[in-house]
Amino acid sequence: MKLADNKATLSFSNGSPSVDLPVYHGNIGPDVIDIRKLYAQTGMFTYDPGFLSTASCQSAITYIDGDKGELLYRGYPIEQLAVNCDFLETCHLLLYGELPNETQKADFTNRVTQHTMVNEQMQFFLRGFRRDAHPMAVLTGLVGGLSAFYHDSTDINNPEHREIAAIRLIAKLPTLVAMAYKYSIGQPFMYPKNSLSYAGNFLHMMFATPCEEYKVNPVIEKALDRIFILHADHEQNASTSTVRLCGSSGTNPFAAIAAGVACLWGPAHGGANEACLNMLEEIQAMGGVAKVGEFMEKVKDKNSGVRLMGFGHRVYKNYDPRAKLMQETCNEVLQALGLENDPLFKLAKELERIALEDDYFVSRKLYPNVDFYSGIVQRAIGIPVSLFTAIFALARTVGWIAQLNEMIGDPEYKIGRPRQLFTGSPRRDVKPLDQR
């Protein structure tokens, strides 16, 4: 961090002495006021529910400018990465800070490929779940369970342990997600194939069966790889902050990532694309495109309780840069599969048209976000709605690991311990039972 020449001065109207607070510059983005000594100097905390104005860490990984609709991984715009790089190149960038050259890419890809299999005992662990369990419930257990199988990489303070845990998690998440899917539909598990790409291997494990050869569709393979890139990291969101907070206690990397998976499950976070597709199917059941106008009127009525899923974002106050890329991918996939006239896609286009023209949505900057189209793409590929969030977790794992490693390497990091504004009863004495 770079200390600014100026300071922030906090003054009080009750006559208490004012306090000078240091100001630090980021390379881009807002400056921050350092309040670490505020309690020692004033006896007071700050109050910021949802951390809307609080920087909990310094990070060099991902930057978002919500007003500009800009998303950068290590300084590179997401639009350029999604077009010019594959997912494993993006993983290398997030983990090590730079895009790989040809030799580095081959080495990194080989290391990941060699770790895609999971211990055979994981099958028996998986079979302890009900077959109709939500995939995120299964995945939370499986990821946490990895720490029971890989004891040689559970010391979060050992750089070598963190390195091998990172490779293992990136490599094994597609295998675990595919296993959870196969288990839910009663099909045999498919082992990884080292000859396939990262996305191609996942498609193979998801949709191949032992009774016939499976050929990966290159359009779908490219689309899935792009989905992974677009979801790889997203600054200090709820699940990333959860991973950092969990990891700050010194727990092992597998447990910290499992905590991120659990947080991502929520419909306000990783479950948003699942909620979006469910919304589209509900409108379709009501009458489809003909009922879109009626539905949007309900959305505008605060008393209706109807929400428009897949539009707007807590961070972006402009068009989500990932949404345009996902829209292009959606068009490519539907065209390749002959689904251009898919009723849900037509429905989605009509929803988007109204939202971009109606003053109610425009004034509130409720633009389509990445979840709006990613659900349609995954549905077209053949991925069930219940598995959408697990796919998100698969992609986000590399971001979580990069953030966790960065935190561990930060000499200023401490175990997370938020403060509170206490509003309960003041001290009181316990009376004997017969006097209460």
Contact 56, 34 (CB under 8 A): no
| Per-residue burial over 244-253, b = 16 or more CB atoms within 10 Å of its CB, e = otherwise | bbbbbeeebb
> Exactly one of 86, 225, 320, 371 is catalytic; which is it?
371
* Residues with Cβ within 8 Å of residue 79, at least 6 apart in sequence: 321, 324, 325
Count, in order, helices (H) and strands (E) of the chain: 18, 6
75 in the Ramachandran plot: left (φ > 0), alpha (ψ -120 to 50) or beta? left
Residue that is written with structure tokens 């290391």 in the block: 111
Give the relative orientation of helices 292-300 and 272-286 as an angle to the nearest 10 degrees. 120
The tokens for 285 are 């059941």
> Exactly one of 92, 233, 313, 320 is catalytic; which is it?
313
**Which amino acid type is present at position 31?**
D
Give the span between the Cα atoms of 139 and 144, in whole angstroms.
8
The reply to whether 151 belongs to the active site is no
Give the span between the Cα atoms of 421 and 260, in whole angstroms.
26
The reply to whether 371 belongs to the active site is yes
Just list the catalytic residues: 313, 371
